[in-house]
Amino acid sequence: MIIQLEPNITAEQKEGLKAQIASLKYKTNDVKTQMREYIIGIGKEKFDVRNIGHLPGIKDIHIVSDDYKLVSRKWKVNRTAIDLGDGVLIGDGHFAMMAGPCSIEGEENIEKTIQHLKENDIKIMRGGVYKPRSSPYSFRGMGIDGLKLWYKAARENGIKIVTEVMQVSQIAEMYDYVDIYQVGARNTQNFNLLDELGKVDKPVMIKRGISGTIDELLYSAEYVFAGGNERLLLCERGIRTYEKASRNTFDINAIPILKEKTHLPVIADPSHGVGIRDYVEPVALAATVAGADGVIFEIHEKPEKAFSDGQQTLDFEESAKLIRKMRALKELE
């Protein structure tokens, strides 16, 4: 049960409301986001809203049978759009393309990528400065200095930044230089990180876990939302299965299922979803027609020279072709 409160509810009214809910054997959770204030009631018995509906300070009450609440479309039927400023929106009819290298590699790499994005009228650039790597001996990214370099070039060119945050201590450090914090597939259930991202007033894109279920992804989003941050995006990036002909199995089913279950925008990552350069385009197009609100994909001026993920990275010519095709599909709708 989600109770949205009136902005002017008094502390006394709120306590009275919570006491009333508790008397009906429901546990209450206070949720105060940057936008609104809610009380989440959790309980097992049937709840008759007439028992509280007359109390002052309530704007709206929704019974939500899903185990996740605030991210559910049973509460909020209208789709959420995420506003990055400067007219860049994602979701609720705004299809977003985000492209860039796996790892930010340096000034030249940044400039060439931005140049390509501008030529193709793409507003959001992806790239990693903190890289989760299986081996402790691998390149782990340029870190905060790389992010600052990137930020400078991006701002000059009107480009927004989405990049992965790996730990709590990086949140503040990165704050001034990112437009969307990305939670990687290995951190989807890093609940402390999610808690802390709830306190930040910047959008967060959560990737599905390496073998995470759709419900677990929604729960992870619920963590950030309940922590205070409503500006969330979800990202399908392929799951781990027995099939070894591709790096991951892109779960195309997850796109329409997530769109049915949640009001949040759903982004597709075909680069990790299939993991093989030649197949990124068909998977990206598939996700587009299946209803994704955006696509994030890896590009590089010379994929074979990329620091990481070169085997799944498009060159600029392939990228331009994909962008044209996705736009043609969106125009058809």
Decide if residue 45 touches its own copies (CB under 8 A). no
How would DSSP label each residue in 269-280? -HHHHH--HHHH
CB of 35 to its own copies, least distance (A): 18
Decide if residue 249 touches its own copies (CB under 8 A). yes
Of 111, 213, 304, 321, the residue at the interface with its own copies (CB under 8 A) is 213
Total number of residues binding its own copies (CB under 8 A)? 71
Q: Residue count of the chain, please give it.
A: 333
Question: What does the block give as tokens for 161?
Answer: 């930044």
Decide if residue 44 touches its own copies (CB under 8 A). no
Interface positions, 178-197, toward its own copies (CB under 8 A): 186-187, 189-193, 195
CB of 332 to its own copies, least distance (A): 6
CB of 279 to its own copies, least distance (A): 4
Q: What is the DSSP letter of 128?
A: B
Which residue, 239, 221, 266, 279, is CA-closest to 81? 266
Interface positions, 70-129, toward its own copies (CB under 8 A): none
Question: What does the block give as tokens for 291?
Answer: 């209803």
Name the pairing type of β-strands 58-62 and 2-5.
Answer: antiparallel
Distance CA 13, CA 271 (A): 51
Of 253, 302, 321, 330, the residue at the interface with its own copies (CB under 8 A) is 253
Distance CA 235, CA 156 (A): 28
Decide if residue 245 touches its own copies (CB under 8 A). yes
Quickly tell me which residue has 């939500």 as its tokens.
64
Quickly tell me which residue has 């959420």 as its tokens.
80
Quickly tell me which residue has 């049915």 as its tokens.
260
CB of 124 to its own copies, least distance (A): 23
| Site stretch for its own copies (CB under 8 A), options 89-97, 109-117, 215-223, 309-317 | 215-223
- Give the contacts of 326 (CB within 8 A, at least 6 positions apart): 95, 97, 284, 285, 288, 295
Interface positions, 277-306, toward its own copies (CB under 8 A): 278-279, 282-283, 285-291
Decide if residue 67 touches its own copies (CB under 8 A). yes
Instruction: Please say which residue, 53 or 282, places its beta carbon nearer to its own copies.
Output: 282
Decide if residue 65 touches its own copies (CB under 8 A). no
Distance CA 268, CA 309 (A): 17
Interface positions, 136-175, toward its own copies (CB under 8 A): 136-137, 166-169
